[in-house]
């Protein structure tokens, strides 16, 4: 059976306030907070790369798991902001961690990429034993800064998260997952080469508001669970208003949806695993109690993952 063994996270040290972003984008700092719930975000230093961020998060994850790099059987790394076309950051992170010979596979999927990584890891872990899933993005280098596009410019931050999925033991067992893709709206959230991020926020929110609650309900339903049974919902940290909307649609209090948006903004592929790392450190899995992971993003790609705490 697949288990979540440990998490790690890395946030660059430079905190960027709404006041600083507002000056660049021509909006009021309070408007940013009201529109997104975000008060500040972290920006990577000029010399930092996606692989650098990912390595920090992965190293913390392996340390917490007490698993040596040599025991990692596969690396799955999600990022939408890799610095080059190939090779992707997965092999760089693996090499710097001392993981040699294990397949290191890039998932060029922002936002939902970490969720896809966890779902895929659950399927391959019987063979690869320890699968290191990493999500890292440097969105500050691709988010637009034009004054005519403040709705996109203010949302994003940089960071990395990691999770070790193991075949033998962990803090929670992965019970089930659902992942989906639909390219019909691929133009509504995209990053072309050498261009700033393009996002049709209305389309993203409209689709996410419908697909996330439905997917979570489907996942819970086929496992004979209801949303009320779930201890915590750990979602891709896209926007506080979206998290609140999904909570309302599922009929559960927003407080059960972990949020660190206020501090970090939307860190794309990193956000789900950063949230999981922080939630597991502050609250943690309880034996036999379900927790749901879910994400939605460019593609559109979306999905949900059900885990049950092992109480360790």
Partner 1 sequence: MDRQAKIREIIRTVSKQEVNIESEASLFDSGLLDSFALPELVTVLEQAFGISIPDSDLDPRKFNSVSSIDRYLETRG
Please give the residue ranges that form the binding site for partner 1 (CB under 8 A): 182, 184-185, 200-203, 205-207, 209-211, 241-242, 245
Contacting residues for 163 by C-beta, under 8 A, at least 6 apart:
4, 5, 6, 7, 8, 61, 114, 118, 132, 133, 273, 276, 277
Q: Which residue has the tokens 């969105």?
A: 139
Of 209 and 254, which CB lies nearer to partner 1 in the complex structure? 209
Of 83 and 249, which CB lies nearer to partner 1 in the complex structure? 249
Of 71 and 209, which CB lies nearer to partner 1 in the complex structure? 209
Q: Measured from the CB of residue 153, what is the shortest distance to partner 1 in angstroms?
A: 15
Of 71 and 200, which CB lies nearer to partner 1 in the complex structure? 200
Q: Measured from the CB of residue 203, what is the shortest distance to partner 1 in angstroms?
A: 5
Question: Could you give phi then psi for residue 74, rounded to 5 degrees?
Answer: -160, 145
Report helix, strand or coil for 121: helix
Q: Measured from the CB of residue 155, what is the shortest distance to partner 1 in angstroms?
A: 12
The CA distance from 36 to 164, in Å, is 30
Cβ-defined contacts of 59-63 (< 8 Å, 24+) = 59/8, 59/97, 60/8, 60/9, 60/10, 60/162, 60/277, 61/6, 61/7, 61/8, 61/132, 61/162, 61/163, 61/164, 61/277, 62/6, 62/8, 62/97, 62/132, 62/164, 63/8
Report helix, strand or coil for 295: strand
Q: Measured from the CB of residue 296, what is the shortest distance to partner 1 in angstroms?
A: 12
The CA distance from 214 to 142, in Å, is 31
The alpha-helical segments, DSSP class H, found in 132-269 are: 150-153, 201-221, 240-250, 261-264
Q: Measured from the CB of residue 188, what is the shortest distance to partner 1 in angstroms?
A: 9
Of 112 and 164, which CB lies nearer to partner 1 in the complex structure? 112
Of 196 and 201, which CB lies nearer to partner 1 in the complex structure? 201
Of 76 and 243, which CB lies nearer to partner 1 in the complex structure? 243
How far, in Å, are 19, 68, 227, 252 from residue 248 at the CA level?
A: 30, 42, 11, 6
The CA distance from 92 to 106, in Å, is 11
Q: Measured from the CB of residue 241, what is the shortest distance to partner 1 in angstroms?
A: 5
Q: Measured from the CB of residue 181, what is the shortest distance to partner 1 in angstroms?
A: 13
The CA distance from 105 to 237, in Å, is 24
Do the beta carbons of residue 109 and residue 116 sit within 8 Å?
A: yes
Of 108 and 201, which CB lies nearer to partner 1 in the complex structure? 201
Q: Which residue has the tokens 């021509």?
A: 26
Report helix, strand or coil for 105: strand
Q: Measured from the CB of residue 245, what is the shortest distance to partner 1 in angstroms?
A: 6
Q: Measured from the CB of residue 300, what is the shortest distance to partner 1 in angstroms?
A: 9
Of 84 and 202, which CB lies nearer to partner 1 in the complex structure? 202
């Amino acid at each position: 059976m697949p288990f979540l063994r440990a998490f790690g996270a890395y946030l660059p040290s430079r905190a960027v306030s709404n006041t600083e972003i507002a000056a660049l984008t021509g909006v009021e700092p309070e408007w940013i907070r009201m529109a997104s719930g975000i008060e500040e975000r972290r920006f990577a230093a000029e010399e930092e790369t996606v692989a650098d961020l990912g390595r920090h998060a992965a190293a913390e994850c392996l340390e917490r798991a007490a698993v040596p790099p040599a025991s990692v059987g596969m690396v799955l790394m999600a990022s939408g902001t890799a610095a080059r076309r190939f090779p992707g950051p997965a092999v760089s992170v693996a090499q710097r961690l001392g993981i040699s010979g294990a397949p290191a596979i890039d998932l060029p999927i922002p936002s939902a990429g970490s969720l896809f990584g966890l779902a895929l890891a659950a399927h391959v872990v019987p063979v690869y034993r320890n699968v290191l899933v990493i999500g890292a993005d440097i969105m500050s280098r691709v988010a637009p800064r034009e004054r005519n596009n403040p709705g996109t410019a203010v949302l994003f931050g940089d960071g990395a998260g990691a999770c070790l999925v193991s075949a033998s033991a962990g803090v929670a067992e992965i019970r089930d997952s659902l992942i989906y893709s639909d390219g019909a709206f691929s133009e509504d959230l995209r990053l072309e080469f050498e261009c700033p991020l393009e996002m049709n926020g209305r389309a993203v929110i409209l689709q996410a508001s419908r697909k996330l609650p439905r997917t979570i309900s489907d996942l819970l339903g086929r496992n004979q669970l209801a949303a009320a049974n779930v201890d915590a919902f750990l979602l891709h940290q896209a926007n506080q208003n979206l998290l609140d909307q999904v909570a309302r649609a599922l009929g559960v209090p927003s407080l059960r949806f972990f949020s660190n948006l206020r501090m970090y903004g939307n860190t794309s592929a990193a956000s789900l695993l950063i949230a999981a790392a922080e939630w597991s450190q502050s609250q943690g899995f309880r034996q036999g109690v379900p927790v749901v992971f879910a994400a939605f993003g460019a593609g559109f790609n979306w999905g949900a993952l059900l885990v049950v705490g092992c109480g360790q």
